[in-house]
Amino acid sequence: MTTPEAETAPAPAPRARRRRGRRGDRLPWPLVVPAALGAVLVLLPLAGLVWRTPWGSLPRLLGEAGVREALWLSLRTATVATALSMLLGVPLAWLLARVEFPGRGLARALVTLPMVLPPVVGGVALLLAAGRRGVAGRHLYEAFGISLPFTTTAVVLAQTFVAMPFLVVAVEGALLGADRRYEDAAATLGASGWYTFRRVTLPSIAPSIGAGAVLCWARALGEFGATITFAGSLPGTTRTMPLAVYSAMETDPEAAIALSLVLLATSVVVLAALRGRWLPAARDGAGRGT
Amino acid sequence: MSETTPGLRARVVADRGLFVLDVELAVAPGEVVAVLGPNGAGKSTLLAALAGLLPLRAGHVTLDGDVLDDPVADRFVEPRHRRVGLVFQDYLLFRHLSVRDNIAFGPRARRAASRRAAHAAADAWLDRLGLPGFGPRRPATLSGGQAQRVALARALATDPRLLLLDEPLAALDATTRADLRADLRATLPATGAAVVVVTHDPTDAATLADRLVILEHGCVTAEGTATDLAKDPPTPYVAKLLGADPSPTT
């Protein structure tokens, strides 16, 4: 009765999934069928993309000036946005995890808002804030003559707005899970808060920062809605890969497929890197302290 | 009783959930006092308060005449400015640093020594504690006894005026325990610091300490040498604790 073979139908989903292979006949079909359909729903379009890729003309398509421009712009802006997210996001995560202040719960929720907010809305918000007539943008323009919208800087800002929360959430989780007694130990040894953060806290959460940065970079690379709203789609300046895919669909579907394939390949590489290295480390991070 | 009395003078009052910890403690420089008590008596809370990791609710902590904590006078010295060393029960060595960098951490953090000087001092501590050549090792490769020695060296390298040890022998096997106990007996008084050792083991307490302080439910119920306490145990806990063999075994 209690042998593993005997417990079939009532087994909850995670347990059912854990019995890998060679037991298909014992798996409950109300779970297996939707699971298979779900997998097909995700994988079929991707298979279609790979299937329809014009492999023969791929080198020519990827060698086109417009494509190379978009690719280079995307790599640059996503990397700068990730660097900016780390520079601002790690201290922000530290503040949210370590410092008690009134309204902290609300601040936590608001910081993660861009994760669930439709990116287009984010773009509109950025335009209203940093546009030439925006709340902050007006002063920026009047004082320095700087206008952000429709510049590469705007692309970076849009990407940072949308992608930074991924990093903040990962780092904040690691900080909340880290054993704070290591920081106590550092304090009794005479270390200042800043020294402790650099020499004790930061190394202990490094795997999570790495994982968060990769997620952040991938999200920035794929950013579309906020970018097109706030930065437009100017070739060479603001037309990143996703925007190039979108505009190519109307004129040159083959180029759109080629560009999509590049983004897909990048995503797969990112996912593989995360699975193999950072995600397990980040999961252990909670108990690892330093 | 002048304000410049050397060593530790403290009255620690702190909330501890079910009861209030209220302990008076005086330890002279070079003296080793063992705080003995059952689990949950407030021993670790006492150490945290002395180290400054837990602010007092009332009372005071004075070390070599300096007031480190006094809620009435609104005075609180941060842990990093106290020169109070704390050796944690589970060592808490920094895993990403080598043994040498762990020991050099305090002097480096306080800019008290150059990197080279701090490393040389760390190696000297390792020699002194019977771990020559262990400098480049990672904490993860150490046995419990070795890790405890490194943790002790890390605390001593900051030249503390007060050294606190939380159950320094509890996690060790019998042989290691006896070795380290003997080494601690030799090392601790020589540091010149006031030393407080928290333990629940009467043999450890009797061996390491000049004086025993018995803590039960947040209060001191007895105080004195192991021999005196065994002769005339003031509470049933003390009688049970020291009844079997009160004399030092080494």
State if pTM tops 0.90. no
Q: Is the pLDDT of residue A4 over 50?
A: no
Which pLDDT score is estimated for B248?
45
CB B75, CB B54: distance < 8 Å:
no
Please check whether residues A93 and A135 belong to one and the same domain.
yes
* HSE of A66, CA atoms in CB hemisphere, 13 A: 17
Q: Are residues A77 and A199 in the same domain?
A: yes
Task: Kindly report, residue by residue over A50-77, the tens digit of the pLDDT.
Answer: 898 888 888 888 888 888 899 899 999 9
Q: Are residues A46 and A116 in the same domain?
A: no
Distances from the Cα of A86 to the Cαs of A44, A82, A176, A207, B126, in angstroms? Answer: 35, 6, 18, 13, 38
Nearest-Cα residue of chain B relative to residue A200: B94
Last residue within a domain, chosen from A12, A29, A52: A52
A172 lies in the same domain as A117: yes
- Domains in chain B with CATH codes: 8-92+160-243 (3.40.50.300), 94-141 (no CATH)
Q: How many CB pairs under 8 A join A and B?
A: 71
Amino acid at A199: R
Query: A120 and A136 in one domain?
Result: yes
Give the DSSP letter of residue B195: E
Please report where in the chains the tokens 């421009």 appear, as a residue.
Answer: A69
Residues A105 and A244 in one domain: yes
Instruction: Choose among A193, A203, A168: nearest CA to A285.
Output: A203
Let me know whether A16 and A128 are in one domain: no
Q: Phi and psi (nearest 5°) for B30?
A: 85, -5
Task: Say whether pLDDT at A281 is over 80.
Answer: no
How far apart are alpha carbons B32 and A20 in whole angstroms? 59
Residues A45 and A73 in one domain: no
Q: Chain A interface, mutation test: which of B93, B94, B103, most A Cβ atoms within 10 Å? A: B94
Which of A181, A183, A188, A198 is the best residue to mutate to test the B interface, defined by the most B CB atoms within 10 Å of its own CB? A188
Q: What is the ipTM of this complex?
A: 0.90
Looking up residue A137, the CATH number of its domain turns out to be 1.10.3720.10
What are the CA-CA distances from residue A231 to residues A113, A158, A223, B59 (Å)?
21, 8, 12, 62
Q: Taking CA A13 as the corner, what is the angle to CA A12 and CA A16, rounded to the nearest 5 degrees?
A: 90
> With b meaning 16 or more CB within 10 Å and e meaning fewer, what string describes B91-124?
bbbbebbbbbbbbbbbbbbbeebeeeebbebbbe
Are A211 and A276 in a shared domain?
A: yes
B78, B95, B154: residue with CB nearest A189: B154
φ, ψ for residue A62, nearest 5 deg: -75, -20
**Residues from chain A contacting residue B88 (CB–CB below 8 Å):** 181, 185
* Residue pointed to by tokens 């060296």: B153
Range of the domain at A277: 57-288
List chain B residues with CB under 8 Å of A191.
80, 105-106, 109-110
Number of domains in chain A: 2
Task: Answer yes or no: is pLDDT of B126 > 80.
Answer: yes
The residue written with tokens 């794929």 in the block is A222
Residue B129 token pair: 């504690």
From A188, A195, A290, residue closest to B94, measured CB to CB: A290
Q: What is the pLDDT of residues B164-198, one digit of tens each?
A: 999 999 888 888 898 899 999 988 988 999 999 99
